[in-house]
Amino acid sequence: MTITISSILSALNKIVDILLVWLMFYYILKNIKNNVKLTLIFKGVIILVLLKIASDLFNLVTIGWLLEYIIMWGPLAIIIVFQPEIRNVLEQLGRSQLLGRHKVLTVDEREKLVYEIVQAMDYLRKSKIGALIVIERDVSLADYIEKAKKIYGDLTSDLLIALFFPNNPMHDGGVIIQGNRISCGGAVFPTSGNDKINKRLGTRHRAALGISEETDCISLVVSEETGRLSIAVKGELFYNLSLDDVRMMLIDELRPKKEFEIDEEIDEEEIYEENK
């Protein structure tokens, strides 16, 4: 069989076509995973499809007939009803970065980042000074930085404390960290509409949860009333954490997945060697 240049180009064309489709689905699913509302919609669609398959298999005429109409008009209804959420996903796709700044930090830089944040939060909780610190990961927070007060300073605990000190003009807003630098202060974030959140929690906690629902960031909160520490990540709020809990969660969440997998493999090898 003779291999020609045209056949090679045709094969490469198909490979590129498949890769582009795969990348498109990968980024869509990744952004759906980071958005709580769209995750629920996606699960609902999967359930409807499974019910339709079951109705065809077991010859359930009535439910099959209803599901046909739902599947036929469902996409239009989803676009109309969930237009804001769909728009958010498209915006996130536009803001997504191939390599988040936190991933290019060395181990020492990540350790220093965690140390400085924890030191600041320790002081703030003891002094009962409210704070909202948001760490950018793969989804860019450039839109929020654009509307806030620019800083672009090296991350230190003293600078974080100063930004949240009472009577500071940026005290009530949030701080955004990109990599190991403070990009801005006084940032305003969307508040969560989650009904399950404790009614006693204030605007900072709702804003921390809200931005974690829309992006893959890590949001840290110090309560002004109680001094308690909280972290919001992936649309979930972890309330009243100890300083050690905050430190461990930051280390885990900031660690790149590949490094985590390598560490797991090393641990498994050590366990294996010990058992021999």
174 within 8 A of 135, measured Cβ to Cβ: no
Cβ-proximal residues to 167 (8 Å cutoff; 6+ apart), any chain: none
Residue-level pLDDT at 64: 82
Q: Cα 39–43–47 angle (5° rounding)?
A: 170
Q: How far is CA 213 from CA 15, 34, 118, 131, 245, in A?
A: 35, 6, 23, 19, 21
Region 62-73 average pLDDT: 81
Domains annotated for the chain, with CATH where assigned, are 5-95 (no CATH), 101-258 (3.40.1700.10)
Amino acid at 169: P
pLDDT category of residue 201 using cuts at 50, 70 and 90: confident
Contact (CB, 8 A) for 157 and 220? no
- Residue 253: the pLDDT is 92
2-38 residue pLDDT tens: 578 888 888 888 898 888 888 877 776 766 665 666 6
pTM score over 0.85: no
At 71-127, the pLDDT tens digits run 777 777 777 766 766 666 666 555 555 445 656 788 899 999 999 999 999 999 999
At residue 131, the pLDDT reads 96
